[in-house]
Amino acid sequence: MSNTPTHLDYLNWIGPRRYINQVAITSEEWVDWWKETGCWLQRGSSPDDYCMKRIETSLPFSLDNIVCIQNKDKGKYWNRRT
């Protein structure tokens, strides 16, 4: 993984999502968002890693519908929202 997100990273991320219209974010927005979070190098699938989650799961990934949280906090985050 590179030190900063790239267009190629975006394409790898969007790959499985592009067919079901779950993404309303451009590669430039995606790259800028990860840079702004400061969590690019800490993202992943372990509990202490960070991820991009949709706030409202019925809506696509967009700048006003995403949040950066640690994987271990997913349940706490969603419990607070309901």
Mean pLDDT confidence for 50-69: 91
Looking at per-residue pLDDT, the higher value among 79 and 13 belongs to: 13
Residue ranges covered by each domain of the chain: 7-81
Q: 3-class DSSP state for residue 54?
A: strand
How far is 41 from 45, CA to CA, in rounded Å?
12
pTM of the model: 0.72
Indicate if the pLDDT at residue 68 is higher than 90: yes
pLDDT tens digits, residue range 40-58?
999 888 999 999 998 888 8
pLDDT tens digits, residue range 71-82?
998 877 655 554
